Structure 1
């Protein structure tokens, strides 16, 4: 990548997420009850992975920290 392309903010398709504005907190509300047998999974250190497919067909995997505060499942990507 040329120095001028780096200064202009172009990524050449390598790090597009760096250009997404930071969101301090996003709260999604859904109405569902957590099954009792699933609460055990949320009690310990719960690390999940979110996998998506980019437009060019390559995979992108992001680690997720998962917790709960009783009735709400909390998901954070700042692991």
Structure 2
């Protein structure tokens, strides 16, 4: 597991929208804007059973998150990781309510669909980077 720097933790603590990339069954990418947070050393987000991202992650647990600063789109964070746990039931509902409080200021997530089952997803970060400006070449990959 890669540790998240304080700077990246600060990005996650703010109500910024992140893009979550998963892998579809045919190998193509699937991207969703997400609310995220940190629990201990894990990134946490929430979805519903039956969503494409949930099905993708149960089959292929690798994920990437990206976020950019709205004031400076050349200031950005990328996090790669792996889903390590899915949690359903009351804990997943409470997680969704905490995210709603953070992002929209309501005590409850108000867009629940009747009958949906929420899923709290925990991600172990494997690497992360904060880049401002042009991303440097990877070691050994200079033109």
State if a TM-score over 0.5 links the two structures. Answer: no
Scaled by the length of structure 2, the TM-score of the pair is 0.25
Q: Which protein is bigger by CA-based radius of gyration?
A: 1
Scaled by the length of structure 1, the TM-score of the pair is 0.41
**In proportion to residue count, which structure has more strand?**
2
Q: Which has the higher contact order (CA 8 A, sep 6+)?
A: 2
